[in-house]
Structure formats: C-alpha cells, structure tokens
Amino acid sequence: MAISTRVYNEQAMSTLNRITGDIQSIQSRIATGRNILKASDDPAISTKISFSKDQKVMVERYNANINMSKNRLEQAETAMNTSVNILQRVYELAIQARNDTNNLADRQSIGIEVKNLRDQMLSLANTRDASGQYIFAGYKVETEPYVEDKTGKVQHFGDSGVHTLQISNNQRVSTGLNGADVFLRVPQKDQVENMFTMLDDLVANLEVGKMENAFIDKMDSSVRHFSLQQTKIGAQINRVDMQKQINDRQLLLMDQDISNLEDADIAKLVTDLQAKLVSRNAAQQAFVKIAQDNLFNYLR
C-alpha cells in the first residue's frame, strides 16, 4: 500500500509540475505577444522566422542604397538641368553676338556674361553630394575634379569611374554619370571637345570683337549633349523609384509572414490558460483529498 501511495504521489507531482510549466509558458507568451519564445519551442518555425528576418535586413539595406543613390542622382540631375539652362543662354548670346551691328564693346560685354556662365559650369562640375563627395569625380570622390590652373585653363583630376549600388538581389544602379564624358567629351561634328575649352575659346574671340559661326553650332550640340545627360539621370531615378516600390511591398509581405509565424493568438492563449488553471486546480484538489484519505486510513 505504501509503495502504491508513493508512486501515485510522484505521478501526481509530475502532473502538477507539467501543468504549472504549461501555465508559465502560456503566461510568458501572453506577456510578450510572441508564440515562439525560444528556438526549441518549434525548430522548423524558428528557422523560417530567422530566414525571413535575414531577408528583411537585406531588403532594408537595398532601400538604404536606393535612398543614397537617389540623393546623388537628384543632385546630378539638378546640375544637368542648370547646365542645360546655362548653355541655352550661351547659345542665345552667341546668336546675338553674330549680328554685324555689334561693335567691339558690345561683343566684349557679351564675353563677360559668357565668362560668368562658364564659371557657373565649373562650379556645377564640382558638385558635391550630402556627404561632401564630388559627384563627377569618378572614384576619386575626395578630389576636386575640375580645377582652374594659373593660366585659367581647367584641368581634370578625377577619373572615368561610375559608382554603382545594389538595389535588389539582381540589380545595381549607377549613382551618377561619368564626369569626363559629360564635361570633357562633348560630341561635335567629327570629334569630341572639352566643354570648358569651347567656352574659353568663345570668350577669347568675343574679347577681341570676333564671333565665328562655328561657335553657334558647338553650343547647339552642347545643349543637346547635356539634355541627353538629363534623360540618362531621369531614367536612373525612375528605375530606383520603381525598385523602391517593389522593395517596400516585399517588406510588407515579410512583416506579415513574420507576424503570422511569430505573433501569439492572445484570445486562444487566454482560453488555453483558463483550461490549464482549471486542470491544475482539479489536480491539486484530487491530490489533497487522496493524501487526506491515506492519512485517515493510516491513523485508523
């Protein structure tokens, strides 16, 4: 009889401990709002959650790259827009200067304005991004790419590199333009020319009262060249905007998947907790009653 009583007591205590453990687990899940508290709760689901979170971190990194690239692209776009406006003005001034009614002083006055516009172009060629890096310097982002030497000639100290950033699993996007192609290789009829050299030559002619018709054609070609750069930048901005929308949609779906796997069903857990509490109370009462009966039988 003593042996059977001891065995029963051990089984009853084991049952109570198990139920108590279940109650504590449910209470923890209700408190945290999480269905999985540790990997051992459900290894398969834990693996899925871990994978989804890793993928989410990667997509968030892609979005950070998109934001960085868009910032640089928009600044490059602003520089190109302003460049087109400047060159359109130079084109207008060249046509004005061609008029034979202009005397030396008139053309010199026009030359002063063209020189100021040329200086603005130089400033645009040295545009920096939000972090202070030169946008048109290629890979030499810390080096001022276009510098006027003692003779007034613009020297190039950048390179032809174009930065790219990963914006999805299989896409990289350029964060700017090849500065050398933009400012130093402007297509003309049968060659390419340095934008600053063309402007300097135009100013030099105007200063001595000359105006060659070839400059009008060169400025027209220059406007078309920089307009093309505008188009290239705009296409890249549209591309990153479209990918941002795709990435944001992916992040939303990932959050939903993680929530479905990880978040607890509070209503169900409360119901389970109530059932466990009832079971524990019943088990405790049964254990106490049987213990009392055994004690009574022993004393009798």
* pLDDT tens-place string over residues 94-123: 999 999 899 999 999 999 999 999 999 999
Which one, of 56, 34, 38, 17, lies nearest residue 287 by Cα? 17
Q: Which residues contact 211 (CB under 8 A, 6 or more apart)?
A: 94, 97, 98, 102, 107, 205
> Across all residues in the chain, what is the average pLDDT?
86
Span 133-161, average pLDDT: 95
- Model confidence at 269: pLDDT above 60: no
Instruction: Tell whether the model's pLDDT for residue 279 goes beyond 80.
Output: no
Q: Which residue has the higher pLDDT, 286 or 82?
A: 82
Q: What is the pLDDT of residue 49?
A: 79
152 Rama sector, left if φ>0, alpha if ψ -120 to 50, beta otherwise: left
Residue 160 CB neighbour total at 10 angstroms: 13
Question: What architecture is the 62-257 domain classified under in CATH?
Answer: Up-down Bundle (1.20)
Tokens, residue 16: 């109570």
